[in-house]
Amino acid sequence: MAEFDPEKFEDKYQHYFTELQKAYKQAFEVMNDQYDSELIHAIDQQILNESEPVYEGDGEFGIDLPEDPTERVTAIIVDDEKLSTVLDRYVDELERQHRLIFGFEE
C-alpha cells in the first residue's frame, strides 16, 4: 500500500476503497469470532452500513454512526445495553483495523 495521505482520505472512496473494505471485513471477522453472529451481522447490516470512517489526525480514526444507531437494529431482539456495549466494542475494533491497515499500529 502507498503511504497514507490525510488529504486523500477526504476522498477516501476514490483513493482508499480497498483498504476501507479490508478494515470493515477484518473487524467483522474479529467481532464474529467473539460475539453472537446474529448480533454482529445485525450491527454490520443495519448500523455500520451507514457509518462513515473519518481520519481525526495523529494516526487516529473515528467512525461516524448514523443517527440513533441502536434504534436501527430490528432484525433481532436484543437488550439495549448489550447492543450498545457490543456496538462500542465493534467501533473500537473498526478504528483499530483502520490504524493497522494504514500503518499507524502494528
Residue 43, in any domain of the structure:
yes
CA distances 72 to 21, 36, 48, Å, are 22, 18, 10
Tally of CB atoms within 10 A around 33: 9
Whether the pLDDT of residue 1 is over 60: the answer is no
Residue 16, in any domain of the structure:
no
What's the domain range around 72?
23-101
**Full-model pTM:** 0.93
Residue 3, in any domain of the structure:
no
What pLDDT does residue 75 have? 86
Q: For the chain, what is the domain count?
A: 1
pLDDT > 90 fraction of the chain, expressed in percent and rounded:
93
Q: Give the residue among 15, 72, 18 at the shortest CA–CA distance from 47.
A: 72
- C-alpha to C-alpha distance for 106 and 102, rounded to whole angstroms: 10
Residue 35, in any domain of the structure:
yes
Residue 69, in any domain of the structure:
yes
* Span 36-86, pLDDT tens digits: 999 999 999 999 999 999 999 999 999 999 999 999 999 899 999 999 999
Tally of CB atoms within 10 A around 92: 13
Residue 4, in any domain of the structure:
no
